[in-house]
Amino acid sequence: MSVEQEQEERTIRCLVAKVGLDGHDRGAHVISRALRDAGFEVIYSGLHRSPDEVVQAAVQEDVDVVGISILSGAHNTLVPKILDGLKQYDAFDDRLILVGGIVPEDDQAELHERGVDEIFGPGASMDEMIAYIREHAPER
Amino acid sequence: MSDLVSDVLAGKHSALARVITNIENRAPGYREQVSALHRHAGDADVIGVTGSPGAGKSTLVDKVAAAYREQGLTVGVIAIDPSSPFTGGAVLGDRIRMASNAGDMDMFFRSMSARGSLGGLSTATTDAVTALDAFGKDKIIVETVGAGQNEVDIVRTADTVAVLVPPGSGDDVQMLKAGILEIADVFVVNKADLEGADRTVQQLKEMLQGRSGRPDTGHHGTITGADNEGGAVSTTEAVDWKPRIVETVANRGEGVEDFLEALGSHAEYLDRTGRREKQARERYAAEIRTLLREDANGLLSAELERRGGLESFLDEVVARETDPYSIVDELLAPLRDCLAEERDSHHG
């Protein structure tokens, strides 16, 4: 009975990606777990991924949400590479692109312009993030 | 043919990924997509890999995939992880260990979660394999945590099944108990550098004495006891596969060549004995039966719902005004009539 109910609601798939050199993924673990507990399917990339690897995972796993976590400050170089890669594989339009980490305000505007849907900084709450995903996950 | 299907056949990665999503979600149109792809499938070698959590499946699969890629072959991997029975959520973490193939698009890796479904998962896995096969993958690896019957069903969608057995995984009695060991064509004692590996290999060897090959549907009658009779083994050897035991240290890439050799020789055995075709027939038979059951069940559930749901019949049963058999008879009567009519009209 509950199985059928679950199936009527589409399962949201999220990629939680750590890209670049920063060697910290406690935060990504916490987020992965919170998303899991919200009933999402989470694919965690592991540390030190290149933009190519993130694109490969996002395309092959056909995720609804690409969550990119960057603490190193390299977002201006790494995020656009990921966005371009997704476009190259026709996997940009129907995907929600989120960035998490420390992104100065000036950079935020530019990332939005390039196609990032939302940026969650250090103060963001998990509930807020989950609610945002539920509301904005693309219709397919 | 739908655009999505032609995009898959044209080798578009995002289309392949979307078809698998449709299969997982049982999204409208997925059946037509799988039907169309079926005609283009059938050339891939399908390898099942299972074993207990932490046995090193993902690491080994990563190295095997890299070796196939070096030979110029394309590879698809489906990795199945459990999902929470409470929220349905899952963390699908096997991708982390696919480091040797990072960024290589011709190595298609897809995580699937069990999504709490009982029979549905093996159907979804079979369909996903069909999609990868039609896409043109040479080798397809299905990886799943060996924990129960569900996993046994899933790896049986493979031509060759490898079971990973970690060193020191218990005494002889555990080996006798574990039903999952019976499906292996190749045993892999991974982490063979750890203490207890030799003993595990020895235990596997002992366990294999007294049986030959994957349980079969009965084209030979002497599964057990044959090797006490010396001669009996040699007469069945031509038809039966004796499971291989391979030792690997996957994270260092040791033994991977041996493992590939064992997989290759099982594939060769399948072709030489005509067993491959036989297995395919068995698999399709099982699949058709499963689909028939599921679909008939769906039809009847809808009918039951239309008549007010099961609950409405229960009062009468509890009050002994009627009984379960009569209710089933009543519900099935229109279906029976319908089939009879269909039959008559074809004859008439």
Asked whether residue B284 is assigned to any structural domain, the reply reads: no
Domain containing residue B222: 42-274
Residue of B111, B113, B118, B305 for testing the chain A interface, max A β-carbons within 10 Å? B111
Nearest CA in chain B to A31: B91
pLDDT at A73: 86
pLDDT digits (tens, 9 = 90+) for A87-125: 999 999 999 999 998 899 999 999 999 999 999 998 889
A63/B5 Cα distance (integer angstroms): 19
Average pLDDT over residues A59-68: 97
- CATH code at position B122: 3.40.50.300
Nearest alpha carbon to residue B216 among B187, B180, B241, B179: B241
Asked whether residue B35 is assigned to any structural domain, the reply reads: no
Nearest alpha carbon to residue B153 among B48, B55, B277: B48
- Asked if A44's CB is within 8 angstroms of B93's CB, the reply is yes
pLDDT digits (tens, 9 = 90+) for B163-218: 998 888 766 666 666 677 788 999 999 999 998 899 889 888 888 886 654 555 44
Is there a single domain that holds both residue B91 and residue B185? yes
Query: Residues of B with CB below 8 A from A37's CB?
Result: 84, 87, 89
Asked whether residue B267 is assigned to any structural domain, the reply reads: yes
pLDDT at B102: 86
Evaluate whether B213 touches B275 at the Cβ level (below 8 Å): no
pTM of the model: 0.87
Structural domain count of chain B: 2
Is there a single domain that holds both residue B168 and residue B119? yes
DSSP letters for B128-172: HHHHHHHHT-SEEEEEEE--SHHHHHHHTTSSEEEEE--TT---H
Which tokens belong to B221? 């009658």
* Whether the predicted pLDDT of A80 surpasses 80: yes
Asked whether residue B10 is assigned to any structural domain, the reply reads: no
Is there a single domain that holds both residue B254 and residue B107? yes
Residue B92 has its nearest CB partner, among A3, A42, A91, at: A42
pLDDT at B229: 40
Residue ending a domain, choose from B240, B274, B308: B274
Question: CA end-to-end span of chain A, whole Å?
Answer: 25
Is there a single domain that holds both residue B46 and residue B150? yes
Is there a single domain that holds both residue B220 and residue B78? yes
Q: Which of A102 and B32 is assigned the larger pLDDT? A: B32
Asked whether residue B156 is assigned to any structural domain, the reply reads: yes
Is there a single domain that holds both residue B202 and residue B331? no
pLDDT at B290: 87
Is there a single domain that holds both residue B307 and residue B176? no
Is there a single domain that holds both residue B258 and residue B324? no
Shortest Cα–Cα distance, A18 to chain B (Å): 11
Interface predicted TM-score (ipTM) of this complex, two decimals: 0.89
B77/B272 Cα distance (integer angstroms): 26
pLDDT at B224: 41
List the beta bridge partners of residue A118. A98
Most confident of A60-69, B190-199, B215-224: A60-69
Is there a single domain that holds both residue B241 and residue B333? no
Asked whether residue B3 is assigned to any structural domain, the reply reads: no
Is there a single domain that holds both residue B305 and residue B202? no
pLDDT digits (tens, 9 = 90+) for B89-112: 888 988 888 888 888 999 999 999
Is there a single domain that holds both residue B254 and residue B312? no
**b/e code B241-277 from CB counts within 10 Å (16+ = b):** bebbbbbbbbeebebbebbbebbebbbebbeeeebbe
In this structure, which long-range contacts are made by residues B146-154, counting pairs with CB atoms below 8 Å and at least 24 apart in sequence? B146/B50, B146/B51, B146/B52, B146/B180, B147/B52, B147/B53, B147/B82, B149/B179, B150/B114, B150/B118, B150/B121, B150/B122, B151/B50, B151/B80, B151/B180, B152/B179, B152/B180, B152/B183, B153/B122, B154/B48, B154/B80, B154/B121, B154/B122, B154/B125
Average pLDDT over residues B263-272: 96
Nearest CA in chain A to B98: A45
Asked whether residue B113 is assigned to any structural domain, the reply reads: yes
Is there a single domain that holds both residue B251 and residue B304? no
